[in-house]
C-alpha cells in the first residue's frame, strides 16, 4: 500500500511511522529563529486639521481599524552581539478611521490616521538569512482627546495593539529521510457549503490520518459495543457512523478528527444519556504530560465501571480524562 502524508499511527500512545526508504536532498526555507510579540501603535493629530469646531467635553470619539491595512516589514539589522545574534528592526503600521460627534452633531467628519511604530527583537540572524514579518491579529482601536501642553492645541490621540510573528529564514538544502515521491490520488468531488471567513479553527491545518479515523465504544471490561450511532459534529455539519461488533465506528471521509473543531456524540444504550466529547487541541494526561491532539486518529470510550454512566476517554491511545454525561 502506498504511504500517504499524514499523522503516523499510534501504538500504545507512541507514533509508529513506517521506516523511511531513502535520503533526499531538498531545497527549503529553513526557519533559524522565530518569535511573536505584541506592539502598541499610536499617533496624535491636531483636532483643528480635521474638525469644524473645538471638541467639547463629553464628545464621542469613534475609532475603527481600516480592514487590510495592518502590515509589518523588515527595516534593518543592528550589530552582532554575541556572534549570530543581533537586533532585528521591524516597522509596524495600521490605519484607523476616526469620527467625533457631540449630541448627535458631527464635529469631526470621518478621517484616517496612520498608527505606526518600530519593534526591535534580539534574534539568531547570521549572514545569509532574511527577515519575514506577518501580522497575526489586530486589537480594538481607542482614542482620547487631550491638549498639547506646549502649543495648547487640541489633539486626538489613537492607539491599537497588533500581534505579529517575526521569522528569520534562509533558503537551504537539507538532507532528510523520506519515503520517495508523493503519489497522486484521484480527486473526490465534495459539496461546497457556506463556510465562516476568517476561519475559527486553529492556526495550522490538521494532518490526515494514515488510516480512516475511528471512534470505539467499549464496556468496562473492554468488550466492543455494537450498533451505537456515533455523530461527528464539525462546523455545523454532522456525519454519523454505526459501531460494528468490535465497537468501532469508522469515518472514512473526514481524514482525521480535528482538535478545537470536532465534537463526538453518542447515546449510551445502558443509561439512555447522551455522551458528548469536544476534542481539544492539546491535553494533559494523568501523568502530567502534554499531548498534541490537533489531529487525532482514534478516540476510545471505555465505561469507567460496570453500571456507571461515565466513560474514560483515550485519544490515540492516551487517556485524556473522563466524560460524565
**Per-residue pLDDT tens for 176-202?**
998 887 777 777 766 666 655 544 455
Could you report the per-residue pLDDT of 238-249, keeping only the tens digit for each?
A: 999 999 999 999
Counting beta carbons within 10 angstroms of the beta carbon of residue 255, is it exposed (0 to 12), middle (13 to 18) or buried (19 or more)?
A: middle
Q: Over pLDDT 70: what percentage of the chain?
A: 93
What's the CA gap between 213 and 245, in Å, rounded?
A: 17
Provide the residue ranges of all domains of the chain, joining segments of one domain with +: 30-173, 214-323
Contacts of 111 (CB under 8 A, 6+ apart): 50, 97, 98, 99
pLDDT tens per residue across span 54-73: 999 999 999 999 999 999 99
Region 214-323: CATH code: 2.60.40
Give the number of C-alpha atoms closer than 13 A to the C-alpha of residue 188, restricted to the C-beta side. Answer: 6
Amino acid at each position: 500500500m502506498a504511504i500517504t502524508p499524514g499523522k503516523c499511527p499510534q501504538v500504545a500512545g507512541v507514533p509508529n511511522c513506517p521506516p523511511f526508504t531513502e535520503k533526499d536532498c531538498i531545497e527549503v526555507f529553513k526557519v533559524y529563529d522565530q518569535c511573536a510579540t505584541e506592539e502598541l501603535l499610536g499617533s496624535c493629530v491636531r483636532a483643528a486639521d480635521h474638525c469644524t469646531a473645538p471638541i467639547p467635553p463629553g464628545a464621542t470619539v469613534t475609532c475603527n481599524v481600516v480592514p487590510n491595512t495592518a502590515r509589518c516589514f523588515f527595516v534593518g539589522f543592528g550589530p552582532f552581539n554575541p556572534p549570530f545574534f543581533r537586533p532585528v528592526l521591524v516597522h509596524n503600521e495600521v490605519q484607523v478611521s476616526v469620527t467625533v460627534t457631540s449630541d448627535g452633531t458631527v464635529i469631526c467628519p470621518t478621517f484616517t490616521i496612520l498608527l505606526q511604530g518600530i519593534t526591535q527583537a534580539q534574534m539568531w540572524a547570521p549572514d545569509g538569512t532574511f527577515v519575514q514579518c506577518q501580522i497575526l491579529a489586530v486589537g480594538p482601536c481607542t482614542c482620547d482627546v487631550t491638549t498639547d501642553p506646549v502649543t495648547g492645541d487640541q489633539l486626538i490621540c489613537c492607539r491599537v495593539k497588533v500581534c505579529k510573528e517575526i521569522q528569520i529564514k534562509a533558503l537551504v538544502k537539507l538532507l532528510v529521510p523520506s519515503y520517495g515521491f508523493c503519489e497522486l490520488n484521484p480527486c473526490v468531488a465534495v459539496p461546497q457549503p457556506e463556510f465562516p471567513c476568517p476561519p475559527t479553527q486553529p492556526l495550522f491545518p490538521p494532518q490526515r490520518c494514515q488510516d480512516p479515523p475511528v471512534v470505539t465504544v467499549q464496556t468496562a471490561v473492554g468488550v466492543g459495543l455494537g450498533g451505537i450511532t456515533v455523530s461527528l459534529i464539525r462546523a455545523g455539519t454532522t456525519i454519523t457512523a454505526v459501531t460494528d461488533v468490535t465497537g468501532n465506528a469508522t469515518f472514512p471521509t473526514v481524514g482525521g478528527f480535528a482538535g478545537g473543531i470536532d465534537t463526538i456524540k453518542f447515546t449510551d444504550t445502558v443509561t439512555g444519556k447522551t455522551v458528548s466529547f469536544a476534542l481539544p487541541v492539546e491535553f494533559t494526561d494523568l501523568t502530567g504530560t502534554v499531548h498534541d491532539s490537533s489531529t487525532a486518529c482514534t478516540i476510545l470510550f471505555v465505561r469507567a465501571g460496570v453500571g456507571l454512566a461515565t466513560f474514560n476517554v483515550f485519544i490515540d491511545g492516551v487517556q485524556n480524562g473522563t466524560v460524565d454525561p
